[in-house]
Amino acid sequence: MTMTAFSLTAGTTRRDRSGFVATTFLAEFLAGAREGLEIETRYHALSRKSKPELAKLGLERGDVGQAALHGKVR
């Protein structure tokens, strides 16, 4: 088994900001995908809670989607 590590940094070889920078696009895409997974994880955790558990967090069942999206509770 081999393990490969790499990091993405935008504009390391060219400083031309006027054109498309593939590494910037890819880094932003991956950041968005990571954020989506975090939202999904929060939603899944909140959706499995009972009404009393949600009430302790200051939430109702209808608030779960917004709480997962924004990552905060009242």
Distance CA 67, CA 60 (A): 10
Confidence at 28, pLDDT banded by 50, 70, 90: very high
Q: What is the pTM of this model?
A: 0.64
34: pLDDT strictly greater than 60: yes
- Tell me the average pLDDT across 35-60: 95
Per domain, the residue ranges of the chain are 22-70
Distance CA 64, CA 46 (A): 6
Residue 52 half-sphere exposure, CB side, CA atoms within 13 Å? 0
Contact 9, 23 (CB under 8 A): yes
